[in-house]
Amino acid sequence: MKNLRKMLLCTGLALALYACGSGGDGESSGEKQTTRTQKDVAKEEVPAMAEQESVAEEAAPAPPEPHGTPAPNTESYQKIEENPFVAAQQQPVSTFSIDVDNAAYSNIRRYLQQQNQLPPADAVRIEEMVNYFSYNYPNPSGPHPFSITTEVAQCPWNPQHQLVHIGLQGKKLNYSDLKPSNLVFLVDASGSMQDANKLPLLKKSLALLLDQLSQQDRIAIVAYAGAAGLVLPSTPASQKSNILSALNQLEAGGSTAGGEGIELAYRIARENFIKGGNNRVILATDGDFNVGASSAEELVALIEQKRKEGVYLTLCGFGMGNYKDGQMEALSNAGNGNYFYIDDIREARKVFVTEMRANLFTIAKDVKIQVAFNPQLVKAYRLIGYENRRLNNEDFEDDTKDAGELGAGHSVTALYEIIPGNSPSNQVVSRQQGSTPAERISLNAETLLGVRLRYKPIGSEQSVLLSADVKNKNQDFAVSSLDFRFSAAVAGFGLLLRNSAYKGQLRYEDVIKMGKTALGKDPDGYRAEFIRLVETAKLLK
């Protein structure tokens, strides 16, 4: 009670002092004031105040979130409709573009490690999870820039089915004789990039890349926020201090004029084009474009036009909360490019240091895979992942049809789940008639499936054909190769995260067991980290 009386007394004194001083500020400062009653003042001020309040109600932004209330999550992901099982008798051929992106895996890791929650189902692109890891495929020795590895074994989540593993290994470059690079950093410096895991992390990431470049390489920096601008003209990479100074001066602010920035970055790349070199725009953003050409359709059309100029595209996503993964994925697919999500500085090191040459130096373009299944041995098949990379069968021989690019030393892995012809499986199968390729793959009675690849050598617009047959030799999952078992574990993890209709009886415990038996040589600890992510997901489910 004593404290309450004190509070009331203080409040009364404060109100009294305010009442005494409210009309006397002018007199206290030596200025003469015309004496008016409070009623006179009220009559004059109320209409004006009412008008100001009306304008304020129309123009004022929404009130800030209460303290402790997180901002609304506006992250967006492209809807994924999983590939169904297809009857081999009606549609024996499957065609798709390779995908070397791995952004989905590091984004999933961000959800599990940093946010302690399971990712949205549509954030889970299984092919990008599988392709995050390197595999022990043989280095190509022939005239082609990559080798093909195949393996078949029992499917771990459905013993009545089989799993087909197809691996490509890109040829490694002679690092002492690399072609010079003409790189343009296109940096999103808009207001949405101010968080620590956005522009500040972006700067540190690009600084790591700078350390990997040689004196013959060149760097330019374009920033966009409201209006795009050239921050640093094309500069020899040897001038590291000047480049870092320009990079570190960037500050987040303004809205995101993505279209203008892309236009300017490609123009700078073309003005400094190195014939026979590595010409590339590296776009670093959260994907939240909102000024100028900003819709997915507009930006994709712009990127498709620019890719004809011989300039490749690398997209690096940053941040959370307003991240636009669907937009980033669409731009990557359109721009002869690759797409990564940088969730921490270790991932930046992986992208820009450990795997820099594989990510930035392209050795084959428009790489397409076509698989023909023998209907006498295969009842049905399902491509796991690659939903937004599927092609019509006639696209395989159409050299005008764009497809994915393969980097130096890069590996690409694809998995099919198949139902053998003699399997008692009661899996529902789509019997829709498929298009027939112009040139059929002829298979003999002992061949389970045939794999064909088409790719364009760098500098050529005419594709080259490469093929391999897979014999009908099944094996138990337990005796399959380390790479087979690990890729199956990663794919199974994706099925669980998506709560896929095709996950069978698979449990997180099964994925952990599979992964632990297939760690192999793991110098950077990526496979061991995968096990920890599965264990985390198991706790969060």
**The CATH number of the domain where 503 resides is what?**
2.60.40.1230
Among residues 360, 385, 401, the one where a domain terminates is 360
Top-confidence range, 28-32, 248-252, 403-407, 511-515: 511-515
Do 356 and 367 lie in one domain? The reply is: no
Return the structure tokens found at 181.
């690079």
Domain annotation covers residue 21: no
Do 106 and 204 share a domain, yes or no? no
Confidence of residue 397 (pLDDT cuts 50, 70, 90): very high
Q: Are 316 and 331 in contact (CB under 8 A)?
A: no
Find the range with the poorest average confidence among 263-272, 330-339, 495-504: 330-339
**Does the pLDDT value for residue 13 go beyond 50?**
no
Q: Is the residue at 51 inside a domain?
A: no
Triad 390, 391, 395: Cα angle to 5°: 165
Domain boundary, last residue among 360, 381, 410: 360
In a domain, 62, yes or no: no
Is 438 domain-assigned? yes
What CATH number does residue 286 fall under?
3.40.50.410
Stretch among 48-57, 234-243, 245-254, 263-272 having the lowest mean pLDDT: 48-57
- What pLDDT sits at residue 29? 40
pLDDT at residue 160 in the model: 96
Mean pLDDT of the chain: 85
Residue 501 lies in a domain: yes
Q: What is the mean pLDDT of residues 476-486?
A: 97
Contact (Cβ atoms closer than 8 angstroms) between residue 340 and residue 351: yes
Q: How many domains does the chain have?
A: 2
Do 349 and 252 share a structural domain? yes
pLDDT of residue 6: 46
Query: Is there a single domain that holds both residue 510 and residue 435?
Result: yes
Question: Do 426 and 533 belong to one domain?
Answer: yes
Question: Band of the pLDDT at 441, cuts 50, 70, 90?
Answer: low
The tens digit of pLDDT for each residue in 185-219 reads 999 888 888 899 999 999 999 999 999 999 999 99
Among residues 360, 395, 425, which one ends one of the domains?
A: 360
Report how far residue 125's alpha carbon sits from residue 65's, in angstroms, rounded to the nearest whole number: 33
Percentage of the chain exceeding pLDDT 90: 65
Q: Are residues 116 and 157 in the same domain?
A: yes
**Which is it for the CA torsion 303, 306, 307, 308, positive or negative?**
positive
Put the strands of the sheet holding 337-341 in their side by side order: 227-236, 218-225, 181-188, 278-285, 312-317, 337-341
Range of the domain at 269: 177-360
The reply to whether 120 and 238 lie within a common domain is no
Domain co-membership, 235 together with 317: yes
Q: How far apart are the first and last CA of the chain?
A: 52
Name the pLDDT band for 11 (thresholds 50, 70, 90): very low
> Which range among 54-63, 70-79, 424-433 shows the weakest confidence by mean pLDDT?
54-63
Report pLDDT digits (tens) over 278-302. Answer: 999 999 988 877 655 556 677 788 8
Lowest average pLDDT, out of 22-31, 323-332, 407-416, goes to 22-31
Q: Which residues, listed in sequence order, are joined to residue 380 by a DSSP beta bridge? A: 87, 419
Question: Are 215 and 324 members of one domain?
Answer: yes
Task: Give yes or no: residues 420 and 404 share one domain.
Answer: yes
Q: Are residues 333 and 260 in the same domain?
A: yes
CA distance 512 to 326: 30
In a domain, 63, yes or no: no
Q: How many CB atoms lie within 10 A of CB 14?
A: 10
Of 357 and 525, the structure prediction assigns the larger pLDDT to 525
pLDDT tens readout for residues 368-390: 999 999 999 999 999 999 999 99
Query: Is 410 a member of any domain?
Result: yes
Q: Average of pLDDT values for 166-186?
A: 90
Q: How far apart are CA 258 and CA 47, in angstroms?
A: 44
- Is the entire prediction scored with pTM above 0.75? yes
pLDDT at 436: 62
Same domain, 207 and 130: no
| Residue 443 forms part of a structural domain | yes
